[in-house]
């Protein structure tokens, strides 16, 4: 049974969100993420982090695990909202869930069109295979 | 057969400020390994297709779902400060 979907009192307008990893917006990754989201809350979606004040240094301070990720994909909330996607302020700041109507390749392609990248993670200090 | 490079797949976008992340056995490289039975306190490796695996400790398990705390390399920040 899904858990209650509890939302923070937060406004998605004007924020930058990021998804770490080069392949995390490909269909298999989004399908996995959407399945986990649906089992947890009963809605289809996937996780992103808000970049507080567009300051990646602040983001790595509150989410230190991002320092081991070399690449990221970035979107502006206005572009996601204009494309018809909802941003849900789930869990604790800076976590958001981008809600999709259904986990289909067509929806995933529309998601990818809202993101730019892969970009170098300016906070990367970890090991890399490359 | 080559052993998988890590035990559980994790989504870096789901790791919280305390380095805890939920993983699904069914979505990982050991999904078909009937001997894989992670329990609280176990040490294992989490990873994905992009970056080197990370050591992690199992915090709890609920069937297919496993919560682990990731251990970052020592030169990296190890915890959130606020």
A130 pLDDT tier (thresholds 50, 70, 90): very low
Q: Is residue B17 situated within a structural domain?
A: yes
Spatial neighbors of A117 by CB under 8 A, at least 6 apart, are A22, A71, A72, A73, A74
Instruction: Tell me the shortest Cα–Cα distance from B44 to chain A, in angstroms.
Output: 17
Q: How far apart are the first and last CA of chain A?
A: 42
B42 and chain A in contact, CB less than 8 A: no
pTM, full prediction: 0.90
Q: Is residue B22 situated within a structural domain?
A: yes
pLDDT for residue A2: 84
Q: For B2-58, what is each residue's pLDDT tens digit? A: 667 999 999 999 999 999 999 999 989 999 999 999 999 999 999 998 999 999 999
Question: Which candidate from B13, B52, B72 shows the least CB-CB separation from A47?
Answer: B13
Q: Is the pLDDT of residue B78 over 60?
A: no
Containing structural domain, residue B20: 8-67
Question: Which candidate from A49, A127, A129 shows the least CB-CB separation from B13?
Answer: A49
Question: Which candidate from A20, A65, A125 shows the least CB-CB separation from B19?
Answer: A65
Q: Is residue B47 situated within a structural domain?
A: yes
What is d(CA A121, CA A124) in angstroms, rounded to the nearest whole number?
Answer: 5
Contact B78 A64 (CB under 8 A): yes
| Residue matched to tokens 């230190």 | A64
Report how many domains make up chain B. Answer: 1
Instruction: Tell me the shortest Cα–Cα distance from B22 to chain A, in angstroms.
Output: 9
What is d(CA B68, CA B71) in angstroms, rounded to the nearest whole number?
Answer: 9
ipTM: 0.89
Q: Above pLDDT 90, what percent of chain A?
A: 92
Q: Greater confidence, B79 or B43?
A: B43
Q: Is residue B21 situated within a structural domain?
A: yes
User: How many Cβ atoms sit within 10 Å of the Cβ of residue A10?
Assistant: 15
Q: For A96-129, what is each residue's pLDDT tens digit? A: 999 999 999 999 999 999 999 999 999 999 764 4
């Amino acid at each position: 049974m899904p858990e209650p979907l509890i939302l923070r009192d937060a406004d998605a307008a004007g924020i930058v969100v990021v998804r770490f990893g080069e392949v995390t917006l490909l269909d298999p990754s989004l399908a996995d993420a959407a399945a986990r989201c649906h089992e947890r809350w009963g809605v289809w979606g996937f996780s992103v982090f808000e970049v507080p004040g567009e300051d990646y240094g602040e983001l790595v301070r509150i989410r230190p695990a991002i320092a081991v990720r070399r690449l990221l994909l970035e979107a502006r909330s206005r572009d996601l909202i204009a494309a018809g996607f909802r941003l849900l302020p789930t869990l604790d700041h800076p976590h958001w869930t981008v809600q999709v109507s259904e986990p289909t390749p067509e929806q995933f392609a529309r998601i990818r069109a809202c993101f730019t990248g892969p970009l170098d993670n300016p906070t990367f200090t970890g090991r890399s295979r490359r | 057969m080559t052993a998988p490079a890590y035990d559980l797949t994790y989504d870096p976008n789901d790791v919280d400020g305390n380095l805890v992340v939920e993983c699904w056995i069914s979505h990982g490289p050991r999904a078909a390994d009937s001997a894989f039975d992670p329990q609280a306190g176990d040490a294992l490796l989490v990873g994905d297709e992009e970056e080197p695996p990370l050591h992690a400790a199992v915090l709890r398990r609920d069937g297919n779902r496993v919560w682990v705390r990731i251990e970052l390399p020592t030169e990296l920040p190890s915890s959130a400060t606020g």
